[in-house]
Structure 1
């Protein structure tokens, strides 16, 4: 039986970070993954360019039943620490939105850095390796796989959540947690497109592929970012962000003209009586969306002088409470993250060791810590992986 100090299950962002960190400490480390390639979600994220961190990473950008849990790790391994790491390797990256850092060329450049760090640290990687059973002993753990049995002193679970099963996601990490008595809080797909009711879906089919800046509000949270119409409903940064808070059945307010006030509309009639409201909206919204609005307000192309206060108020209410008729979400199939997970009240925020099983550690997305859209979830992967790597 092969014996090592540390086994990490999962060759994703947090697992690779943890393994390299432990390896540099002189530990013998083996990373196991059932996939045929490491870091698959890294490679596909951010449209293949990976939004690998956010310079504004702070605890306020994370959701958890235990909101204080993430504070320690984020302080001990910061965004700047990770940027310093990729800078040493000469990674070319760009800031596409305030604070959001993307690989300039390809996410493969970032994965190559992580695999180089893994190699330099002396850690080993075993792909196409399926874990069949885990047997916890008093002072060591036996991990049985299709590639043989392995023994370790410390076991790290970095298996991620349920998001994007085509990339190999599964609930295996939750099963390990339950095996030793951990509570797994309810999970759901998040940072995910929203589907709409059939009638609205048919209307939106003609709008598929167009985007507009909106503000969206649910559960007291508001985001002002672009929304994208799709064949199935709505997506884009604003919609993905709100799904961390909105669930089917909740109110969802969407304002498709967030820069426009009721006074602005009234001023059009007062200052440019010969101008139509269709002309105004065409300056703010895509043409196809304006055509949809005209189906509700057939007077839009008339001169504004001919409109009444009631008509203008009705138009303003329509724009600021644009009824998308939400139905649900696209689910784990396209979700960027899994919200919920292993109860962090049962995990050390310093070492990431289980309070239920000695020498068992959980890091990354498998825990009940979920970041906003914009690189925050990768920040959590780097921080939790590094901090656990200091103690395994």
Structure 2
């Protein structure tokens, strides 16, 4: 039986970071993954350039039923720490938008960097290798794998969530948690496009491809512990609903059955502008709206809300213009679901963080068993935040095992 100090299951962002950290401390580490292709989620991220962190990353950018849990790991391994590692490996990078950092060339550089960091600690690889079972023993744990049994006093679960099944996502981490009677926060797709009932969406199917910057919000934003979210980002119309950064962001906060509210013209009080323009603007309503919105979208919104395209602005009662203003500045609609795990960038929910130590990521009642990365109920915003959680939680466990 092969014996190691640490077995890390899952060779993605968090798993490689953890393995490298532990191995460089002098521990004998084995890194196991069932996929034949290493770190596919890193490879496809950021359009192939890997949005590897966000300079603004902090606890406020993460969702969890236990929102304070992430503070310890994030404070001990910051975006500046990861940037220092990127610079050490001479990887060119740039800031693209709202603190998002991307490789100048390719996400492969981040994968190679992590492999080199693992090599610096002489990490042992088992890839591809399926773990059939994990059993606790007096000496720690025994893993039965298709490459033979492995014994280790410490095991780190870094197998991610359910998002993007086609690149190997699985529920392995959740099954291990249930085996050891750890609570789960119900997993669901996050950072995902939202869909609408076909009849409700019919007026907007032809809008597919239109994009514009909007304000979007959902849920309760009041009180000391707000459950809702609000973002200003780009929105994209699709044949089945809405996507783009604005919708991906709000999807993490959206609850089934709840509406979302979109301000399609966040810099303009439309009702006021229309009422003030009645005496000087002689155009039809559709042409007036087209100076602020894409023409196709302006027409679709007018028809969807019962306004005639050929109505003249000067002839419209103020009450109707206020109704139109509200329809566009506070467009309220209720999704019927999302595009699911196949299109979700991450999984919200997972191992209940109240089951884990925030300093070490170890299960409170299962000595030697750790959970990191997306497997845990910590979900970041779009824009490099989830990678920063992967690095930070991986380092926290790597220093503790």
Shared fold (TM-score, shorter chain, > 0.5): yes
Matched, 1:151 2:151: yes
SS at structure 1 position matched to 2:282: coil
Tell me the residue number matched to 2:64.
64
Measured after TM superposition, the shift of residue 381 of structure 1 is: 0.3
Work out the CA distance in 1 between the residues paired with 2:101 and 2:363: 32
CA deviations on 1:362-392 (whole Å, 9 max, x unpaired) are 1111111111111111110000001110111
Tell me the residue number matched to 1:290.
298
1:278 to 259, 265, 286: 286
Matched, 1:316 2:310: no
SS at structure 2 position matched to 1:118: helix
Measured after TM superposition, the shift of residue 275 of structure 1 is: 4.0
Work out the CA distance in 2 between the residues paired with 1:29 and 1:280: 66
Matched, 1:377 2:386: yes
Measured after TM superposition, the shift of residue 258 of structure 1 is: 1.6
Work out the CA distance in 1 between the residues paired with 2:293 and 2:92: 35
Tell me the residue number matched to 1:356.
365
Tell me the residue number matched to 2:130.
130
Work out the CA distance in 1 between the residues paired with 2:70 and 2:29: 25
Tell me the residue number matched to 1:167.
167
Measured after TM superposition, the shift of residue 267 of structure 1 is: 2.1
Measured after TM superposition, the shift of residue 234 of structure 1 is: 0.6
Structure 2 spans left out of the alignment, 5+ residues: 222-228
CA deviations on 1:160-193 (whole Å, 9 max, x unpaired) are 1111111111111011111112111211111111
Instruction: Give the 4+ runs in structure 1 shifted more than 6 A.
Output: none
Work out the CA distance in 2 between the residues paired with 1:306 and 1:280: 13
Work out the CA distance in 1 between the residues paired with 2:236 and 2:108: 27
Structure 1 spans left out of the alignment, 5+ residues: none
Matched, 1:367 2:380: no
User: Any residues of structure 2 matched to 1:77-88 within 5 Å, and which?
Assistant: 77-88=77-88
Q: Are 1:200 and 1:324, in contact at CA under 8 Å, matched by a contact in 2?
A: no
User: Any residues of structure 2 matched to 1:256-275 within 5 Å, and which?
Assistant: 256-261=264-269, 262-270=271-279, 272-275=280-283
Work out the CA distance in 2 between the residues paired with 1:124 and 1:202: 55
Work out the CA distance in 2 between the residues paired with 1:207 and 1:213: 15
Q: Are 2:303 and 2:309, in contact at CA under 8 Å, matched by a contact in 1?
A: no
Work out the CA distance in 1 between the residues paired with 2:357 and 2:339: 34
Calculate the TM-score normalised by the size of structure 2: 0.93
Q: Are 1:247 and 1:328, in contact at CA under 8 Å, matched by a contact in 2?
A: no
* Deviates most, 11-20 or 301-310: 301-310
Q: How many residues are treated as equivalent by the alignment?
A: 391
User: Any residues of structure 2 matched to 1:215-230 within 5 Å, and which?
Assistant: 215-219=215-219, 220=221, 221-230=229-238
Matched, 1:208 2:208: yes
Work out the CA distance in 1 between the residues paired with 2:26 and 2:8: 15
Tell me the residue number matched to 1:340.
349
